[in-house]
Chain A
Amino acid sequence: MINESKQHESTTDVEAFTQLWLSNHHTVAAFIRVSIRNLHDAEDLLQDVAREASRNFDRFDRSRPFSAWLIGIARYRLIDYFNHQQRKNIVVMNSDTLEALAEAHIRSTEQADSRLGALRDCMRHLPERQRHLLRDRYYTGLSTVEIANRTGKTSSSINQVFYRIRKALARCVEDRLGVAQ
């Protein structure tokens, strides 16, 4: 009986964790991504956060926001990562900036889903060429220099194109959120 009860509790925990993770991981992923330049390192660190959170889920105080807990874990992981980078003489984000962005991401959690929904709508209206560029940059992980080489453009002109696409997407998202509210 005791074993069954524990197993039930454990199953419930895992389901609860999975649901919470799926609802909040975009915020923590965005927080890590903005803090680390290397896309692959960011993915690894997100995975570490997921692993640590799942292992320590029993310590999570459910009266508090899950996103704040996750970002707290991510923050410590990032500090470790930064220390390691600094030993290799790689310049990393200032600790004050990290703190400010952690707080901002916690505040942004509630809006994250609506933002992503709006973004989905906006991206549907992007011309295929721009979608390709975004895919190369943000999914495949090519640098702007690599994209420039592939497209025969200069990296500065590619940077400018990216700036305009992202700016337009951001404006489109804000407009849609404005309409929704």
Chain B
Amino acid sequence: MKSAQPHDEWVYAFLDGELSEQQAAVVEAWIVSAPENADYVASLAILMHGIGEEFKRDEISNIWQELSDLEPDAEHIQLVDITNRVDEKKKLAPAPAPAMDADRRGKKVIVIPRSVAWLTAAAILLFGLWVAVPRIDEDPGSGADDSQITQAPRLEVQEMPVVALLEGAFNVRWGQAGDTGTGDTELEAGSEIRAGQRLVLERGVAQIQSHRGAVVVLEGPCEIAFVDEHRVRLAYGRIVGKCPTSDSKGFTVDTPSATIVDLGTEFGVHTTSEGLTEVHVMTGKVSLAPRTADNEASEVELGAGRGGIVTSGSSQIVEIESTPAQFVSSLEDASSNAMQQYVSSVTSLNPLVYYRFESLAGGVAINEMGSKYFGFADGAVSTVRIGSVGNAASFSSDQAGHIRVDQTISELRNAEAYTIECWAKPNNALAIYGSLVSMTTPEREALAASGLVLHGLSEEAGAERGLLRFYHRNPPSSETGTEVYSQRRWAVDQWMHIAAVKDRTSAKLYINGELVAVLDDTTAFPDTEFVTKIGIHQTQPEARQKRPYEGLIDEVAIYDRALTVNDIESHYNKMRYLLNEDSSRPIGD
């Protein structure tokens, strides 16, 4: 399978270990997609290794010179001294040395094991000879090709022209930016954007206007660069392009798999790190053309209400209906009471309980939907501020912190359909289990009715390691019923939106608006008394399955209805740019 060619810059940064996990995944996918890609990376790896070796060679060359002056019987002692001296020189630079004992640092320079001392000496001598010979042979005057000198790197950073202006931003966190060397790591309203400047928006929404009038609304996480005032390169993420003036017509967006040219319109583009590009036209027209190696793919014109999907390396365009709701089309949209919009959307669906965890004063978790089904905090549970979202509940597994609703949510008994929805940001990958929401029969909490549990990333979690499980049991039990496992792993320290939906025929699990698993099940919610717990499965001291969760949980809602895909997508889309810092690639994908 072909994979999108990443920026060359990324390939170098990959070799230096300086890419984010998400960027590294893009490069890795590209490496495995073709042997010649791996060969290219290997050739650069040799080069980067060689750069370090060159400096080491200089050092050892000097040592070799000194070594030749030494008495033979002093060789061993001097070798050790020299080894340490090389390290001493390295220590002169204020590099933070990693925790390492002195003995190990002393071995750093010589790779051959010290246990074979004479072998070490031989290696050094041979290496010294290998190093010395080309130096003797080289005549800088005769060997060097002067024409190559002119091709030596021209490294001065040139200032690129300003092509756009950052109009404003909401709840943003920028990644490394200012690639033109201008040093702008903190962008703010009014900041100038230069051609070639890489903008990495880790979260939030930002609005940029090009000097020719095109408006681009970025939604984090995304990465974009203005090629000039009429063209941008979108590496990944969502943007909306608006071209209100005749001068801005023809504004172009390049993604790894497609080129989109505005024909006087408003449109949204979503590109994934895997190279899939979706285009959705809100008004007017755009032309969409796949980017293929032979540049022979034909373009299509898409009108309002239409969209297209292109995958990396493919010349095919799959036409779809446009779904503009998935895009943030202006800064005003993003900033005008975004959180209130989410809350309104949830409450308009009349959940039975809705815990927002804005306060746990007196240990009480208020149910936003009425005066019953309040939760009570026990153990290490607190609230933490999450930007403009407000507070979330923070759970610590050490003291089995949890929130408990002792009163049975009676509307759920015998309900033919129900939904459990929440946002979670787990932070303990090593736990074997972490129960997000659990409903068990009251007596010794022995029998589970329904719930959501994270299986940890440790080996002990077994075959379901790293998965999210939605269980539905009628009658309540410990083993039977339907277990729906996500088909991808959750990610540590990343917010995810979860919706477990049980309708009349099936049990479904959604993560970040996507259906990740479904199984047939025609049973209703069990007709039983039950206790609802958030952040733990069982609370009794003698219980064997406590499964304490560690991390953050927010916006827990339980409905006596099956939410639709649109409801779930809408909830995810309303909150994701407020919460998510980097949710596009769960660990293990």
Q: Which residues of A contact B (CB under 8 A)?
A: 14-15, 17-19, 21-22, 25-27, 29-31, 33-34, 36-38, 40, 43-44, 46-47, 50-51, 54, 86-87, 89, 91, 93-94, 96-97, 99-101, 103-105, 107-108, 111-112, 115-117, 119-127, 130, 134-144, 146, 150, 153-157, 159-173, 175-176, 179
Contacts and interface: CB of A to CB of B under 8 A. Distances in A.
Nearest to A34: B45
A161 B113 contact: no
Contacts of B108: 40, 43
A163 B12 contact: yes
A94 B122 contact: no
B544 interface: no
Interface string B81-108: 0000000001001111010100010011
Q: Most A CB atoms within 10 A — which of B21, B28, B182, B184?
A: B28
B15 A26 contact: no
A41 to B, nearest CB: 8
Contact of A175 (B54, B55, B104, B151): B151
A89 B39 contact: no
A18 B49 contact: no
Interface in B101-160: 104, 107-108, 111-113, 115-116, 119, 122-123, 126-127, 130, 134, 140, 143-145, 148-149, 151-155, 157
B35 interface: yes
Given A125-B149, A161-B181, A142 B93 contact: yes
B45 A103 contact: no
B304 interface: no
A94 B130 contact: no
Given A91-B587, A175-B148, A138 B48 contact: yes
A50 B113 CA distance: 7
A156 B177 contact: yes
Contacts of B153: 126, 130, 164-165, 167-169, 172
A174 to B, nearest CB: 9
Contacts of B16: 137, 144, 162
B111 A107 contact: no
Interface string B14-33: 01111001001100100110
B84 to A, nearest CB: 15
B50 A33 contact: no
Contacts of B127: 22
Nearest to B55: A139
Interface in B30-55: 31-32, 35, 37-39, 41-55
A144 B43 CA distance: 22
A25 B111 contact: yes
A91 B153 CA distance: 34
Given A50-B111, A101-B38, A141-B95, A93 B148 contact: no
Contacts of B148: 121-122, 125, 172, 175-176, 179
24 contacts: A14-B122, A18-B122, A19-B126, A21-B112, A27-B46, A30-B45, A54-B112, A54-B113, A91-B587, A101-B31, A104-B35, A104-B38, A116-B50, A134-B51, A138-B52, A139-B90, A144-B16, A146-B96, A154-B184, A156-B178, A156-B183, A163-B13, A168-B155, A172-B153
B344 interface: no
A139 B134 CA distance: 21
A115 B43 contact: yes
Interface residues of B, number: 86
B39 A108 contact: yes
Interface in B458-513: 458-459, 492
Q: Most A CB atoms within 10 A — which of B24, B31, B43, B50?
A: B50
B149 A167 contact: no
B430 A89 contact: yes
Given A94-B32, A135-B55, A139-B56, A30 B152 contact: no
Nearest to B90: A140
Interface string B194-230: 0000100000000000000000000000000000000
A176 B152 CA distance: 11
Contacts of B119: 14, 17-18, 54
A29 B49 contact: yes
Contacts of A96: 28, 32
Contacts of B188: none
A153 B39 CA distance: 34
A47 B83 CA distance: 15
A99 B28 CA distance: 11
A124 B138 CA distance: 12
B155 A130 contact: yes
A51 B8 CA distance: 36
A168 B115 CA distance: 41
Contacts of A175: 148, 151
A161 B16 CA distance: 14
**Which are the 10 A-B pairs with shortest beta-carbon distances?**
A168-B153, A37-B17, A139-B55, A104-B38, A104-B42, A138-B52, A30-B49, A157-B181, A125-B152, A34-B45
B51 A138 contact: yes
A161 B178 CA distance: 12
A54 B96 CA distance: 32
A123 B167 CA distance: 44
Given A21-B112, A104-B35, A125-B144, 11 more contacts: A33-B15, A46-B111, A91-B587, A94-B25, A119-B54, A123-B54, A159-B13, A159-B176, A160-B180, A162-B16, A167-B153
B9 interface: yes
Q: Most A CB atoms within 10 A — which of B13, B28, B48, B457?
A: B48
A136 B52 CA distance: 9
Contact of B51 (A127, A142, A169): A169
Nearest to B52: A138
Given A27-B46, A161-B181, A166-B47, A100 B113 contact: no
B129 to A, nearest CB: 9
Contacts of B527: none
A87 B17 contact: no
Contacts of A19: 126
Nearest to B125: A18
B416 interface: no
Contact of B41 (A101, A130, A165): A101
